[in-house]
Amino acid sequence: MFGLIAAHNRCLIALIVLEAAGLTGALALGQAAPPTAPPGVIPAEVPVTPGLRVFDPSLIDKTVDPCENFYRYSCNGWFKRNPLPADQVAYGRFTELYELNRLHLKQILEAAAAPAATRTPNEQKIGDEYASCMDTATVNKLGLTPLKPELDRIAALTTAAELPALLAHLQSIGVNAFFGMGSNQDYADSSAVITSYGAGGLGLPERDYYTRTDAKSVEQRQQYVDHVKRMFTLASEPEAQAAKDAEAVLAIETRLAKASLTMTEQRDPQNLNHPTDVASFSKELAHFSLGDYVTAAHAPAAGKVNDSEPKFFAEFNGLVADTPVEQIKAYLRWHLLHAYAGTGLPESVDHENWNFYAHILNGAEKQQERWKRCTIRVDHELGEALGQAYVAKYFPPAEKQRTLEMTLAIEQAMDKDIAALDWMSAETKVKAKEKLHAVMNKIGYPDKWRDYSKLEIVRGDSLGNEMRVHEFDFARDLAKIGKPVDKGEWQMTPPTVNAYYDPQMNNVNFPAGYLQPPFFSGKEDDAANYGDMGSTIGHELTHGFDDEGRQFDKDGNLKNWWTRDDEQKFTDRADCMVKQYDAIEAVPGVHLNGKLTLGENLADLGGLWLAWLAWLDKAGTAHVDMNAKADGYTADQRFWIAYAQQWCTQTRPEQLRSQAEGDPHAPDEYRTNTVLTDLPEFAKSFSCKKTAAMAAPKPCRVW
């Protein structure tokens, strides 16, 4: 799916770090569903994870005053033990678990890759795809030959009138050229799936890389042009022509970028909701035959459409009319090369791609080992086939049940918290509780696994497999249009170390790969588990009520359920956090964007508060002695330390800059310290004075 479709799924962590380094039925409140294992498999015991604890006192640096810098107090010991690996742009507790899961996946894939008549169809697919990816000798020998039919298609383009059919084909094989088209829930009726068109076609990470005027951004654009030129020369273009074509690519992409919404603007769903129909949208694209495009793409030729960015498509229409065909062909060649510049093409192309995106932009010093990149490739391409094997081995039903119980406890805490809000009217509270009670909890893995029977994976055909996966996913996505919404579908694979909230589905999603140490453990106490995984559960629930999520009702429709007065009170409180994060200078000369990060900041603060309330309730029921110490710390202190230790992360300056400029998540140090300064309960636990750095004189608070 293209960026627009997934734009509103609010995640706990950004996937950009992992990608850059590694190339990336509803439960009513109080009800519990029995845990279920995947069909036909017997889960094993929880894997032993040496050295990973949810609360780890050995990581604490007692030379640091917890009231002055709690992040350093909680994490300095971890930093000393974990220097930043050369192949990582950032390395933290999430990466620790990500790497452990990747080892587990490697074991599964190596076993599946061994040819055997007893392999299941899914084992054949994941095994042969992994083996094909690992076969660098064959990939290097084939060179760019597997791409020649597509390069020939582009070379055969003679007029702009032929572009729609060509573009539809290229997009079907995963080429992000000009714009994106796919299925999406209707903003006005979340039960309906319609066609959605969104801005796309950029080779740099996001729009503002093309528009910022500071010296570093100007340098990065020149480095990008140099990279595109080198890619063209690797594809056998003469150097002079490659240089000319690279400049044409930048010119086209700059035009597209300037007509696109900023990342901050995209966070408001109102800016993306422009319903129309195929016939009307076609008239807006006078120089691009939408009829030819949808015919070639096998997309609906009639019916409702969302034109997410009218300004962008107006510019695209003009670009098609006034851009020489040779420049359009250069742009398409670049995006074809860019789409496949990984494990499917020769190592020279693969390394050049890594050099720009991971090394130049994000500071990585070494490319990751091939097996790591092939493992994550199979997870991306066949995530539920691989995930089914992963869950069978590493996620027993007891873990699913424990997570569900914690989720329900935190939902109950949110119910009480809404009732106690002094700024929200009774009328809006009723609607808020209705939405909360309608939240669907999805834990571990799908109830129904994806069917890959129509996908052909051929051993020894690495690039061909990648193309067929894209075609399979493209057709599968378009087949959703006009059909009932599948609320059981997942947007993350089971081994993923992350979580997300989907506002149009109104569900929270916690993959199996995340529900283990150092974030969650049945062997540790509630104080640690609620401070860590509990805050994550609260984080995702709070996304349903952040500046973006609050605009959707209990059914996932973009509908205002707030009174005008309550809406203003929410905005006033949220503005406190905008100013708070705007003031943070992440790297010299680059401040955080308080509006861009607002949703995640609201979720961090609200989620931790909900976890605290739920834990206090459970501790009270269990008659926990709040003065008793374990490992030298009281229960409430362990709660706060466990929260902080999940964010222990080493980050390269280049990556930190990229994150500050374009990531809706604040850097991890601020997700710890800034959040905790807004909670007087934390300062009380560590007897912090009112003048301490970790005690805000005027705390921000919404939820």
Residues 513-544 have pLDDT tens digits of 999 999 999 899 999 999 999 999 999 999 99
- The confidence score (pLDDT) of residue 10 equals 75
If asked whether residues 80 and 157 sit together in one domain, one would say: no
- The confidence score (pLDDT) of residue 29 equals 28
- The confidence score (pLDDT) of residue 50 equals 55
Q: Does any domain span residue 294?
A: yes
What is the DSSP secondary structure assignment for residue 46, as one 8-state letter? Answer: P
* Beta-strand pair 500-502/507-511: antiparallel
- The confidence score (pLDDT) of residue 230 equals 98
CA dist 112 → 44, 121, 137, 274, 331 (Å)? 18, 10, 21, 46, 39
Nearest alpha-carbon partner for 38 in 282, 386, 535, 551: 386
Nearest alpha-carbon partner for 613 in 554, 538, 666, 684: 538
If asked whether residues 82 and 150 sit together in one domain, one would say: no
Reading the block at residue 409, the tokens are: 């406890």
- The confidence score (pLDDT) of residue 8 equals 62
CA dist 282 → 278, 305, 314, 352 (Å)? 6, 11, 11, 39
Q: Please state the pTM of the whole predicted model.
A: 0.93
If asked whether residues 71 and 163 sit together in one domain, one would say: no
Q: Does any domain span residue 76?
A: yes
Secondary structure of residue 305 in the 3-state scheme: strand
Q: Does any domain span residue 458?
A: no
If asked whether residues 65 and 197 sit together in one domain, one would say: no
If asked whether residues 413 and 301 sit together in one domain, one would say: no
Reading the block at residue 339, the tokens are: 């789409």
If asked whether residues 543 and 639 sit together in one domain, one would say: yes
CATH number of the domain that 180 lies in? 1.10.1380.10
If asked whether residues 560 and 427 sit together in one domain, one would say: yes
Show the domain range for 12.
3-29+61-86+402-448+488-685
Indicate the residue among 298, 319, 339 that finishes a domain.
Answer: 339
DSSP per residue over 574-595, as a string? HHHHHHHHHT-EEETTEE--TT
Range 31-48 burial, b when 16+ CB lie within 10 A, else e: eeeebebbeeeebeebee
DSSP per residue over 479-515, as a string? TTTTS---TT--SS-TT-S--EEETTTTEEEEEGGGS
Q: Does any domain span residue 92?
A: no
Q: Does any domain span residue 55?
A: no
pLDDT in tens, 124-155: 999 999 999 999 999 999 999 999 999 999 99
If asked whether residues 291 and 417 sit together in one domain, one would say: no
Nearest alpha-carbon partner for 476 in 298, 291, 295: 298
Q: Does any domain span residue 474?
A: no
If asked whether residues 299 and 217 sit together in one domain, one would say: yes
Query: How many whole angstroms separate alpha carbon 378 and alpha carbon 133?
Result: 9
Query: How many whole angstroms separate alpha carbon 421 and alpha carbon 479?
Result: 44
Nearest alpha-carbon partner for 653 in 127, 89, 189: 89
Indicate the residue among 339, 364, 386 that finishes a domain.
Answer: 339
Reading the block at residue 183, the tokens are: 């299925």
CATH number of the domain that 523 lies in? 3.40.390.10
What element of type H or E holds 629? Answer: strand 629-630
- The confidence score (pLDDT) of residue 27 equals 25
Lookup result for tokens 């027993």: 396
Q: Does any domain span residue 395?
A: no
- The confidence score (pLDDT) of residue 28 equals 28
If asked whether residues 287 and 151 sit together in one domain, one would say: yes
CA dist 134 → 98, 172, 371, 466 (Å)? 20, 25, 7, 13
Q: Does any domain span residue 482?
A: no
pLDDT averaged per 10 residues, the chain (length 703): 48 58 33 31 38 94 98 98 96 97 98 96 98 98 97 98 98 98 98 98 98 97 98 98 98 98 97 98 98 98 98 98 98 98 97 98 97 98 98 94 96 98 97 98 97 98 98 98 96 98 98 97 95 98 98 98 98 98 96 97 98 97 94 97 98 96 96 98 97 96 94
Q: How many domains does the chain have?
A: 2
Burial class (CB in 10 A: 0-12, 13-18, 19+), 454: exposed
Contact 317, 288 (CB under 8 A): yes
If asked whether residues 578 and 671 sit together in one domain, one would say: yes
If asked whether residues 563 and 681 sit together in one domain, one would say: yes
Query: How many whole angstroms separate alpha carbon 311 and alpha carbon 604?
Result: 34
> How many residues in total does the chain contain?
703
